[in-house]
Structure 1
Amino acid sequence: MAHRLLHFYYSGVNMLPKLELIAAACENMGIGINGDLPWRLKTEMAFFTRMTTDTKNKNKKNVVLMGRRTWDCIPEKYRPLQNRINMVLTSQSLDYGDKAITCKSIPHAIKVITDMQNQVERVWVIGGSSVYKSTMESPYFGRLYLTRIKKKFECDTFFPLIPSDFVLIKDPTVPQDIQEEKGIKFVYEVYEKR
């Protein structure tokens, strides 16, 4: 009996979702300016959309988890992000109706996602800086998908320092070669914790 309970407990623990971060940063690790992206790269935006939307199981959706300021920065016509479950981290008592689910913290978001795990395939953290930082430091961290824009842009928001125990890996769904659009080169990198 105890053995069966232990098995149930551990198999339940394995079902906790891993959080995958997705971001684009320029050479100075900037990710935004005045609540907007410092660049306009259609290829990179299409990559973000594909990664955060596509699921293997057509009956499931991915979660996009973001801070309130990131939500506020998404142009209203694009909110909520289509074909994804939008979740907003906020300490305020906000109600976005059926557009987004609000959560007070990452552990709270994990609990909500776990309760709806039969509807959720992947969980993507899409910003901002403090949400990226706390996710990378959390036990729920899975992977970091970082687009490195090979150019400097003026920014007022920056991607946090990548921990030294994060290592580059290959993901077959991510293009390996250098991309270029409008004369701007960029490369997709994928990190896991060693």
Structure 2
Amino acid sequence: MPPKLELIAAACENMGIGINGGLPWRLKTEMAFFTRMTTDTKDKDKKNIVLMGRRTWDCIPEKYKPLENRINMVLTSQSLNYGDKAIICKSIPHAIEVIAEMQNQVERVWVIGGSRVYKDVMGSPYFGRLYLTRIKKEFKCDTFFPPIPSGFVLIKDPTVPQHIQEEKGIKFIYEVYEKK
């Protein structure tokens, strides 16, 4: 049984998640949280997968590709080859098949974008949890997080800070959702 897909994202007050292929904000604390959540494993012999759409992959600066200490997996209908940097999958069900074959090597699967991948996974039977950082400010964005389905409820996760964080005068809070 492959692990459930866990979504991780940061969205500002208008639910924006990106602009011009980048992040609208620079928050080191939030980026460190993303890195810790998507990298850390309990079993040191396993790694986490970061699953993303092709445009999200394209938006990662070249010097950070592949995302370190994680198995990078890219969803695309195009015939692309990223060599040993990333595994290409044609669809979410295809990714689930590949993940199932690797389950002895994989602890968690993190979906890191973009909008369509988030939406598709939230509506799929593979959904596990949503880790959403709410940035308490509005930024100009051209990419947005999809509406959170009505059956999702806030839960507490002991690995996630519970209180409002602040950096560079910008407040943000970490939220964790599961399906009812």
TM-score range normalised by the length of the shorter chain: over 0.9
Q: What is the CA deviation profile of residues 21-67 of structure 1, one whole-angstrom value per residue up to 9, with x for unaligned ones?
A: 00000000000000000000000000000000000000000000000
Q: Number of paired residues? A: 180
Q: Which among 81, 84, 95 is matched to residue 109 of structure 1?
A: 95
Distance 2:156 2:93 in 1: 28
In the other structure, the counterpart of 1:16 is: 2
Question: Alpha-carbon deviation of 1:16?
Answer: 2.4
Q: Which among 6, 12, 15 is matched to residue 29 of structure 1?
A: 15
Three-state SS of the structure 2 residue aligned to 1:72 is helix
Alignment of 1:96-175 (within 5 A): 96-175=82-161
In the other structure, the counterpart of 2:46 is: 60
Higher helix share: 1
Structure 1 moving runs of 4+ over 6 Å: none
In the other structure, the counterpart of 1:191 is: 177
Question: Alpha-carbon deviation of 1:17?
Answer: 1.7
Question: Alpha-carbon deviation of 1:99?
Answer: 0.2
Three-state SS of the structure 1 residue aligned to 2:172 is strand
TM-score w.r.t. length of structure 2: 1.00
Question: Alpha-carbon deviation of 1:135?
Answer: 0.3
Larger radius of gyration: 1
Distance 1:43 1:57 in 2: 25
Distance 1:114 1:79 in 2: 24
Three-state SS of the structure 1 residue aligned to 2:133 is strand
Which runs of 5 or more structure 2 residues have no equivalent in the other structure?
Answer: none
Distance 2:134 2:108 in 1: 23
Q: What is the CA deviation profile of residues 139-191 of structure 1, one whole-angstrom value per residue up to 9, with x for unaligned ones?
A: 00000000000000000000000000000000000000000000000000000
Q: RMSD value over aligned CA atoms?
A: 0.3
Q: What is the CA deviation profile of residues 98-154 of structure 1, one whole-angstrom value per residue up to 9, with x for unaligned ones?
A: 000000000000000000100000000000000000000000000000000000000
Distance 1:135 1:142 in 2: 9
Distance 1:135 1:165 in 2: 14
TM-score w.r.t. length of structure 1: 0.92
Q: What is the CA deviation profile of residues 56-102 of structure 1, one whole-angstrom value per residue up to 9, with x for unaligned ones?
A: 00000000000000000000000000000000000000000000000
Three-state SS of the structure 1 residue aligned to 2:159 is coil
